[in-house]
Structure 1
Amino acid sequence: MTIDPSATIHPSAVIEPGAFIGAGCAVGPFCVVGPKVVLHDRVILKSHVVVAGRTDIGDETVIFPFASIGEIPQDLKFKGEDTQLIIGKRNRIREGVTMNTGTEGGGGITRVGDDCLFMTGAHVGHDVIVGNKVVMANQAALAGHCIVSDDVIIGGLSGIHQFVRLGRGAIIGAVTMVTNDVIPYGLVQGPRGALDGLNLVGLKRRGVARSDITALRAAYQMLAQGDGAFQERAARLGEETDSAYVSEIVNFILGASDRSFLTPS
């Protein structure tokens, strides 16, 4: 066990032998930190937080009461392999959030980027890859093997099917079930999620140039109404565009996927 002298540990907390607690960390009442856990500098565990497994938590991440971080995957194929959960810096992990380690069949690592917000009761399943500045609202859930790119927002009570990819800047409405990949900057809503436009509000908030937004809107129309299959339209679009944002959508559609795509309605 290594505990930096500047760390603050509540007397009721349990720090198991082998754990590493970095400088300026604060471990609150009734927390449990397992023997393979690493808390980097200035991590805060508020109270009643369980951090288990081979879990690495980056600087200045704050975890709120009753979160369960790094427990074994909810996968019947898991047989006790030594897998990991890696969480980046400055994340906010609110009450009751669950995040599981990876599985041998999925690469062995569940990974969360920097500056994300996981609201009450959100779930990050095994072998999921979450980018930076992602927001998951209350009770949203990511099934195993999902890939969530930077700047994605997932609405409350929404569920993302296993192996689905969410492209950068996409937004998922509340109470939505997403069963297929979502293009970058896509807007998805409805009980059975349908691609219903672009996340124009998010693009404007990030200061994307008007010319790029215009190009994205034209690209969306071509994907929705052009001739041929969805991938064929995307390939033609890639040959015609000089917008980096449109090219990102094209590359996403033409890249490897374990699911089909939500297509424009």
Structure 2
Amino acid sequence: MGFSPLPFSTTTPSHPPSSLSDRWVDSDRWILSHPRSTTALSAVRKKDQQQQQSRPPPSVPNKADFEYQELSIQLKAMKEQDVRYTQLQADKRLELEGYIARIVERRPSIVPLNRLAEVLPQTSWRLAFSTEPIMNEALPKDATITLNFINEEQVNYSLEFAKTLGLKKLTAQSSFQVDKATGGVNIQYQTITTDVFGLKNLGVGAFGLLQGRGTNIATAYFDGRMWIEQCVDRNNGNNNNFYYNVYVRNEQIESNNKS
């Protein structure tokens, strides 16, 4: 930003001039005056104004503030109205996906990815939006994924259901590790438990096949409130296509864990 030129006065002030014979300071404003060279001063002022107008505006980095704000507001509204991302119209899904892509591209993570292992313990997260095909095709539409990080090594990876066959929750008690170089979180399922009509730890049948397997979260953005995963969608045979998973902080679960 350029500095505005000092205004010049051609009116002689009421007080006597200072020791500088050609200039003095107005008592009310810091104004330099040179009565005998007003034409020259006007030319200098005009030149300075032209230089300021010709300068390009200062470069302001685009940190996707608008996209971040809009995504946050809409995900919050979906939560309050109990609308799952699988229920959204195609145009709304594309709108949110565009916001996510620009956040990943332009907005630096507030929490450095190499410090993710330090901030995840005792936090809980809910999958609020996904463009991953398997999330939209294989899971029941009323399923919600939650991640509850117990400590530096343990995490509960859960599927919560609203109406599916009376199944309330399926939880994979798991271990996790964070790749400090990339911020990727590798989760290994260990023990699978269920909650059916309030009866917990029943046999899980086919779900037991998940034991010993796992999943990986490829972190692209993290700020302590929003966690975005970006992965190449290799199913389409095009490495330029990505899918996104957006997790938001599940403060209600954290509060319940502390009580």
User: Would you call these one fold, judging by a TM-score over 0.5?
Assistant: no
From the CA coordinates, give the structure whose radius of gyration is larger.
Answer: 2
TM-score (norm 2): 0.23
Q: Which has the higher contact order (CA 8 A, sep 6+)?
A: 2
Structure with the bigger percentage of helix: 2
